Chains A and B, each alone.
Chain A
Amino acid sequence: MPTKIEKDEITGTETTGHEWDGIKELNTPLPKWWLWTFYATIIWSIGYFIVYPAWPTLSGNTKGMLGWTQRIEIAQRLEEAKTARAPFVGRIEKASLDQIRSSPDLLNFAMAGGRSVFAENCVPCHGAGGSGAKGYPNLADDSWVWGGALDDIHTTIAYGIRNANTQSRVSQMPRFGADGVLNAKQIDDVAEYVLSLSKRSTNADAVKRGETVFSENCVACHQEGGVGSTDLGAPNLAANIWIYGGDKATIVESVRNSRAGSMPAWTGRLDDATIKMLAVYVHALGGGK
Chain B
Amino acid sequence: MDGTSPPDADASANKAGHVAVEDAVSTKVQKAAAPLYVSRIKVHPKDVKGLYRRIKWAVLALCLAVYYLAPFLRWDRGPTAPDQAILIDLPGRKAYFFMIEIWPQEVYFLTGLLILAAITLFLVTSLFGRLWCGYACPQTVWTDLFMWVERKIEGDRNARIKLDAAPYTAEKIVKRTLKHAAWIGIALATGGAWILYFDDAPTVVRDVFTGNATLTQYFFIGMFTATTYTLAGWAREQVCTYMCPWPRFQGAMLDDQSYVVTYEDWRGEKRGKLAKAAPGVDPWAGRGDCVDCNSCVAVCPTGIDIRDGQQLECIGCGLCIDACDAVMDKVGRPRGLIRFDTLANQACRAKGEPATHKFVRPRTLIYAGVLAFVGAVMLVALLSRATVELNVLRDRAPLFVTLSDGNIRNAYTIHVLNKTHAPRDFTLAVSGLQGAVLGVAGSDVAAAPVVTLAAKPDSVATYRVFVTVPSQSVRGKASSPVRFDLKPREGRGHADYDSVFLAPGR
A-to-B contact residues, CB < 8 Å: 101, 107, 111, 127-132, 138, 140-143, 236, 239-241, 284-287
Contacts and interface: CB of A to CB of B under 8 A. Distances in A.
12 contacts: A128-B396, A128-B397, A131-B397, A131-B399, A141-B401, A141-B403, A142-B403, A142-B404, A143-B403, A284-B464, A286-B409, A286-B411
Interface string B305-347: 0000000000000000000000000000000000000000000
A100 to B, nearest CB: 10
Contacts, number: 51
A141 B441 contact: no
Given A111-B442, A138-B401, A284-B441, 8 more contacts: A128-B396, A128-B397, A129-B411, A131-B397, A138-B398, A140-B398, A241-B402, A286-B411
A138 B403 CA distance: 10
A110 to B, nearest CB: 9
B202 interface: no
Given A284-B441, A286-B441, A129 B405 contact: no
Nearest to A240: B406
A285 B398 CA distance: 10
Contact of A239 (B398, B405, B411, B464): B405
A128 B399 CA distance: 10
Interface in B386-411: 395-399, 401-406, 409, 411
Contact of A101 (B396, B403, B404, B442): B442
Contact of A240 (B395, B404, B409, B442): B404
Residue with the greatest number of chain A CB neighbours at <10 A, chosen from B397, B398, B411, B466: B398
Contact of B398 (A132, A143, A240): A132
Q: Is the interface of B mostly helix, strand, loop or mixed?
A: loop
B26 to A, nearest CB: 28
B442 A129 contact: no
Contact of A107 (B405, B411, B442): B442
A129 B404 contact: no
B397 A127 contact: yes
B80 to A, nearest CB: 19
Contacts of B401: 138, 140-141, 286-287
A240 B401 CA distance: 11
A86 B464 CA distance: 27
B404 A141 contact: yes
A143 B401 CA distance: 11
B433 to A, nearest CB: 17
A286 B409 CA distance: 9
A286 B401 CA distance: 9
Contacts of B403: 141-143, 241
Contacts of A239: 404-405
B397 A129 contact: yes
Nearest to B399: A131
Nearest to B407: A142
